[in-house]
């Protein structure tokens, strides 16, 4: 991706050294490759004052992720680039973003699943998805999506949670890759989580609640459930980013 930028903007007179230090583990469903590509695209744009539009940045970052993940997963790079809730119009190359007015905590639990640690894990997880779905399934999924969009626009976390918990296409196919998935989902919801589903291609899962103390407690219970059954797992609490990619320090 950096090579593409150099060629496109004729900055080959410069030596570019890129060092990546991140806290996002690879092959976990958390958008590791997308985060790297987004940060690199953002940094190059800022360093050379290229003035790229959001759409151009998205395409550039997508090209970078294609190198590591096998395909340009624009949903991954868009989340890291722009922050908030991002909707992509891939047909027209447009980005729509809604930035919440408050901090929304999200708990993530990652079980260690050895068979999913390969560099092409996302590609494999996508291969599990059906090539066609029935009209009934499509209608139900579209209804759930509409509910999610309403929840985002009204910033109603309970409705968002209900919507993300209801998936008729992707979740049933990928749940089989995650040990005790149905059990830990039921546990989280019974303990008060507003929503629960798989992060990206897995094996990480996420759960929602407006109270960071509550969501942290539930994540600990999910992790303990897995650990007691011989599945190593770890968890952390994060917040939906309000800014996306940003420069922490600029040294010229």
Residue 62 has pLDDT above 90, yes or no: no
What residues does each domain of the chain span?
2-98, 105-239
pLDDT tens by residue, 33-45: 888 889 999 999 9
Strand partners, 235: 109
Assigned CATH topology for domain 2-98: Ribosomal Protein S5; domain 2 (3.30.230)
- Residue where the block lists tokens 């296409």: 169
pLDDT tens by residue, 156-196: 999 999 999 999 999 999 999 999 999 999 999 999 999 99
The residue among 248 and 236 whose pLDDT is bigger is 236
What's the half-sphere exposure (Cβ side, CA atoms, 13 Å) at 88? 18
Please report which residue ranges of 166-229 form alpha helices under DSSP H. Answer: 170-174, 181-190, 212-228
pTM score, whole prediction: 0.88
C-alpha 201: how far from its chain's center? 9
pLDDT tens by residue, 122-152: 677 778 888 999 999 999 999 999 999 999 9
The pLDDT assigned to 90 comes to 84
pLDDT tens by residue, 86-119: 999 988 878 999 999 999 999 999 999 876 555 5
Sign of the CA dihedral 23, 164, 120, 3? negative
Q: Comparing C-alpha atoms, which of 184, 116, 189 is closest to residue 158?
A: 189
Under 8 Å CB-to-CB from 163, ≥6 apart: which residues? 144, 145, 147, 148, 151, 195
Rounded to the nearest 10 degrees, what angle do helices 212-228 and 181-190 cross at?
150
The pLDDT assigned to 64 comes to 79
In contact, 206 and 108? CB cutoff 8 Å: yes
The CATH code that applies to domain 105-239 is: 3.30.70.890
Determine if residue 244 is left, alpha or beta; phi over 0 gives left, psi from -120 to 50 gives alpha, anything else beta: left
């Amino acid at each position: 991706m950096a090579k593409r930028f150099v060629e496109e903007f004729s900055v080959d007179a410069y030596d570019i050294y890129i060092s990546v230090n991140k806290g996002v583990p690879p092959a976990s469903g958390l958008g590791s490759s997308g985060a790297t590509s987004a940060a690199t695209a953002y940094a190059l744009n800022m360093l050379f004052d290229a003035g790229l539009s959001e759409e151009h940045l998205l395409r550039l970052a997508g090209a970078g992720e294609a190198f590591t993940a096998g395909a340009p997963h624009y949903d991954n790079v868009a989340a890291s680039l722009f922050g908030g809730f991002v909707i992509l119009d891939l047909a027209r190359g447009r980005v729509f973003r809604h930035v919440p007015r408050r901090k929304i905590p999200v708990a993530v639990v990652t079980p260690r699943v050895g068979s999913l640690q390969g560099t092409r894990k996302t590609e494999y997880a996508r291969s599990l998805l059906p090539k066609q779905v029935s009209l009934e399934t499509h209608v139900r999924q579209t209804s759930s999506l509409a509910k999610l969009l309403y929840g985002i626009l009204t910033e109603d976390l309970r409705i968002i949670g209900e919507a993300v918990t209801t998936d008729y296409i992707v979740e049933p196919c990928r749940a089989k890759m995650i040990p005790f998935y149905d059990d830990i989902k039921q546990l989280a919801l019974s303990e008060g989580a507003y929503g629960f589903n798989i992060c990206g291609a897995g094996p990480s899962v996420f759960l929602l609640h407006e109270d960071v103390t509550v969501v942290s407690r539930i994540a600990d219970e999910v992790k303990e459930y897995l650990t007691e059954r011989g599945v190593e797992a770890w968890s952390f609490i994060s917040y939906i980013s309000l800014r996306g990619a940003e420069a922490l320090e600029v040294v010229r």
